[in-house]
Amino acid sequence: MKALISLILLLFIFIGFSQDRSKSDRIPTNNGDLVVQPVLHGTVVFTWNDQTIYVDPYGGAEAFAGLEDPDLILITDIHGDHLNMKTLEAINTAGAQLFVPQAVMDKLPELMKSKASVVGNGENTDYSNINIAAIPMYNLPDDATSRHKKGRGNGYVLTVGGKRVYLSGDTEDIPEMRALKNIDVAFVCMNLPYTMDIKQASSAVSEFKPKIVYPYHYRGSGGLSDVEGFKLLVNKMSPEVEVRLRNWYPGK
Convert the pLDDT of each residue in 43-73 to its tens digit.
999 999 999 999 999 999 999 999 999 999 9
Written as one string, the DSSP assignment of 227-250 is HHHHHHHHHHH-TTSEE----SST
Question: Which CATH superfamily, name and number, covers 23-243?
Answer: Ribonuclease Z/Hydroxyacylglutathione hydrolase-like (3.60.15.10)
Q: Mark residue 190 as left, alpha or beta (left: phi above 0; alpha: psi -120 to 50; beta: remaining).
A: beta
- Reported as a single tens digit per residue, the pLDDT across 169-224 is 999 999 999 999 999 999 999 999 999 999 999 999 999 999 999 999 999 988 99
pTM, 2 dp: 0.92
Task: Render pLDDT for 90-148 as a digit per residue (tens, 0 to 9).
Answer: 999 999 999 999 999 999 999 999 999 999 999 999 999 999 999 999 999 888 778 89
- Could you give phi then psi for residue 71, rounded to 5 degrees? -95, -30
Q: At residue 180, what are phi and psi to the nearest 5 degrees?
A: -60, 145
* Distance from C-alpha of 49 to C-alpha of 247, rounded to nearest angstrom: 25
Contacts of 224 (CB under 8 A, 6+ apart): 218, 249, 252
Are the C-beta atoms of 142 and 174 separated by less than 8 Å?
no
